[in-house]
Amino acid sequence: MRIWFALGALGLFSAGSATVIALWDFNSYPSDGNSTTGTLNPVIGYGTASRIGGVTGTFARGANSNVAMGWDKMPNVLVDPEDARNNNSGWNLAAFAAQGTGSGTRGAEFRVSTLGYTDIRVSFAMRMSNTASRYWRLDYTLDGSTWIRKEYFDHNYAYLWDPSATPWYDHFVDFSSIPQAGNNPNFGIRILAVFQDEATGRGDALYLPHSPSSTYGTSGTGRFDLVGFEGREPVPEPATLAALGLGLGGLWIRGRRR
């Protein structure tokens, strides 16, 4: 089931030589049929997930087919196949900064070694409660300590197919133009709540609530699921392939002689 999940359900990016390096689905293994329990250990590969800036973390229902974005960004939809067995967990963060303070200081961090891979790409599903921040920022590190801003996310309530539901937003972030992200033991990302003016270059130095009918509050939650890191394994040089072919040919001849 895990192999199907990685190659079929995730469908992170294009096929071919792309490989899932690490994946968090936050579900319990073996399944306990309870979405309020889970694990921060990756279901595929190795890596660490941690809380940033004093937020709290629990487990709650993970990503399902109620997707708000992805339709206007990428054709992929991140849905956890464990959803049908009630073992579908997501990582739920709360206790964010007070209004007007700490923009870009609280959220989630994921670290994954990309040694042996190039063209790194990251995907994740996220949902916010009505009173959580509408705007978020993704930072990345190449040395394990210095963080660089990559892009901002606007979880615009106007995008919702069904405003009466609390939806999941799909995100797909391409690092293939940053070659240092590949073959790097210190690679990682952070996803952080930010002020409106930082994310858009206009407006107030305040958090906007996800729902325009609500008021931002520190108890608002940001929930993550299906956090995946993908890369491509380098194609061997022609000389290497030729040498491998000669070696295999020699082994075949020796086998025939015996």
For range 156-180, the mean pLDDT: 80
Q: What is the CATH number of domain 2-257?
A: 2.60.120.260
Check: pTM over 0.75? Answer yes or no.
Answer: yes
What letters, b where the CB count within 10 A reaches 16 and e where it falls short, cover 116-149? Answer: ebbbbbbbbbbbbbbbbbbbbbbbbbeeeeebee
Q: How confident is the model at residue 5 (pLDDT cuts 50, 70, 90)?
A: very low
Q: How far apart are CA 138 and CA 108, in angstroms?
A: 10
Domains of the chain: which residue ranges? 2-257
1 versus 172: the higher-pLDDT residue is 172
Reported as a single tens digit per residue, the pLDDT across 32-46 is: 999 999 999 999 999
Q: How confident is the model at residue 63 (pLDDT cuts 50, 70, 90)?
A: confident
